[in-house]
Structure 1
Amino acid sequence: MAKQLAVSGLDHAAFVVRDLAESKRWYEKMFGFTALDPNAGPASPYIGNATTRLALLEANEERAYITPANQGPRACHIAFGANAETFLAYQSQLTDAGTKYEMLVHSDCQSIYFSDPDGYLLEVTTYEIDKLG
């Protein structure tokens, strides 16, 4: 049997977005992400932080924008991990912003599901359920 290969982690997730500048602003505000290659200018698709990278690819003639709404509930999403304190802060931030979200308690974690401006489903999850109060 061949040796099982293991990846080191999620390198990046890529979303096709309607408006690159608008999406970058939203991710900067919601998650505190910044441009990962500031020298590349505003057309650079990569945004994130030291541990998380997103490639936001603007729709064009060669790259169609397909609405995520027809993919089914929670079928396709990106999950970001958080400690309990940060998890609760995201819940407050979403509430304060008037953003609709869904809370789910799983067997080993608790999650908040919400959508970005293009309708992509995002999740913030914590395994520190005992610290949520």
Structure 2
Amino acid sequence: MLNGLNHITIAVSDVTKSFDFYVNTLGFTPKAKWARGAYLSLGELWLCLSADNVLSGGDYTHYAFSIPGNDFDEFAVRLRTAGVTEWKINKSEGKSVYFLDPDGHKLEIHDGDLNSRLMACRDQPYEGMTFF
């Protein structure tokens, strides 16, 4: 079963400006930054800033929920059986299902965490990626 919020990804029009705001104004801890994004943390919260056109509902902004790996496949079948609309195919580390709620809000279940993502990025970093 779901056991918490996994991470939040926010579409931003200017990575440098947003990075500065979240780190220096709000107190997030920087973990990694690259040309088109950054990974930050605040307590247990993992926040991803992703360069994109900032449009209501038309960008990469979504909310991800944690799920243990041993529950993932069964829960993914449950979602698909319920007829959810999948809005993206997973291309990154860990298992994910990206789906819409009844109002079209973008959601995800994910069995990885910030550390597993950073380890994968150390092997294959994004363009211009810097680790902190």
- TM-score after normalising by structure 2: 0.41
Higher relative contact order (CA 8 A, sep 6+): 2
Structure whose residues are more often strand by fraction: 2
